[in-house]
Amino acid sequence: MGEANNSVKSVVSSYLQERHSELHQAELSQRLATETADITLPVRLGPQGEGRIHPVSQVFDEVTEIFADMGFSVAEGPDIETDDLNFTKLNIPPEHPARQDHDTFYMRPRPDGTRLVLRTHTSPVQIRTMLKQKPPIRIIAPGRVYRCDSDQTHTPMFHQIEGLVIDEATHMGHLKWTLEEFCKAFFEVDEVKMRFRASHFPFTEPSAEVDVGAEAIGRPGQWLEILGCGMVHPNVIRNCGLDPEKYQGFAFGMGLDRITMLKYGIPDLRAFFSADMRWLKHFGFLPFDVPTLAGGTAS
Ligand code: PHE
């Protein structure tokens, strides 16, 4: 009986299997016939596709990536700063005329008579870093800065990126090389025409201002100032408790908004901060575009 049962069972199950695969095939053909995808349709990003990254945020990321490649780390400081860190420790004592150049926003005096300020530059982050970190130091410090000034090329709030390198051997040649490499990477060109003009800052000696040849951005024959820099003044190093006989290095402070305008051909600075959605749609970046050294074309 067992043998007979088994042979019946195998006949029945082979019929079942055959029918099952027929039905399966039929279902599959039907699905294939109805489920067509038109791959020529554009991709719909949905609500995520609506937002835009502000050009300044994009450039912060690009600059950070370039300097990270050269071994710099990112440091930060507060927007509301003490007078001491914004000025005095940077070799700008009270009554120094350089204070007038800064168009400072002062807070109301505190009970002890001192006044906090909205930082006028990112240079106090140099001091904060040297006070808490032993050399070798290699940092950049991006952030907002404030000056009581407003016209076509100045806004009361703007952005800077500070750089600081302190060790026992860094010299002006390293400064030049670093800035040249930065400009080549940032403007995505093999050669950048750069001009170092002698200048003066109380916290660097010697000091220079740097212009770049504007041909890289389609304005032949013109120069554009993008940063101030120099060798950190011995007084500043001493003010941070380090021995200026032993340690030396360079610092620079670059205008972020300025290099953003240059790279992406944005004509008016004030539009950066007007929160105009049409402007942001035009000059902003898609959130899914990860900033890279090679990428970064305005959408
Ligand atoms: N802090 C200067 C400014 O805002 C720029 C600067 C930074 C110059 C570091 C030299 C060194 O104008």
Could you tell me if the CB of 250 is within 6 A of ligand 1?
A: no
Share of the chain above pLDDT 90, in %: 65
Is this structure's pTM higher than 0.75?
A: yes
Average pLDDT of span 26-41: 88
Q: Would 30 be classed as within a structural domain?
A: no
Q: Give, using CA atoms, the residue closest to atom 4 of ligand 1.
A: 121
Q: Which atom of ligand 1 is nearest to the CA of 228?
A: 8
Q: Would 2 be classed as within a structural domain?
A: no
Alpha carbon of 277 to ligand 1 centroid (Å)? 33
Q: What is the pLDDT of residue 40?
A: 86
Determine which of 157-166, 167-176, 256-265 has the lowest per-residue pLDDT on average: 256-265
Q: What is the pLDDT of residue 101?
A: 67
Separation of alpha carbons 185 and 62, rounded Å: 9
Give the model confidence (pLDDT) of 49-96 as tens digits.
788 899 999 999 999 999 999 999 999 999 999 999 999 999 998 888
User: How many distinct structural domains can be found in the chain?
Assistant: 1
> Mutate which of 90, 99, 104, 123 to test ligand 1's pocket (most atoms within 8 Å of Cβ)?
123
Alpha carbon of 67 to ligand 1 centroid (Å)? 18
Q: Would 39 be classed as within a structural domain?
A: no
Give residue 163's pLDDT band: very low, low, confident or very high (50, 70, 90): very high
Separation of alpha carbons 188 and 183, rounded Å: 8
Q: Would 11 be classed as within a structural domain?
A: no
Could you tell me if the CB of 233 is within 6 A of ligand 1?
A: no
Neighbouring-strand partners of residue 43: none
CATH code: domain of residue 105: 3.30.930.10
- The enclosing H or E element of 5 equals helix 2-34
Separation of alpha carbons 38 and 55, rounded Å: 35
Give the model confidence (pLDDT) of 217-269 as tens digits.
567 788 888 999 999 999 999 999 999 999 999 999 999 998 998 888 887 88
Q: Read off the DSSP letter of residue 270.
A: G
Give residue 296's pLDDT band: very low, low, confident or very high (50, 70, 90): very low
Q: Helix 256-264 crosses helix 55-69 at what angle (to 10 degrees)?
A: 100
Find out whether 86 and 164 touch, Cβ atoms under 8 Å: no
> Mutate which of 91, 119, 165, 203 to test ligand 1's pocket (most atoms within 8 Å of Cβ)?
203
Q: Which domain holds residue 142?
A: 56-283
Q: Would 294 be classed as within a structural domain?
A: no
Q: Would 37 be classed as within a structural domain?
A: no
Q: Would 296 be classed as within a structural domain?
A: no
> Mutate which of 126, 201, 203, 229 to test ligand 1's pocket (most atoms within 8 Å of Cβ)?
201
Q: What is the pLDDT of residue 217?
A: 57
Q: Would 18 be classed as within a structural domain?
A: no
More confident residue, 151 or 257: 257
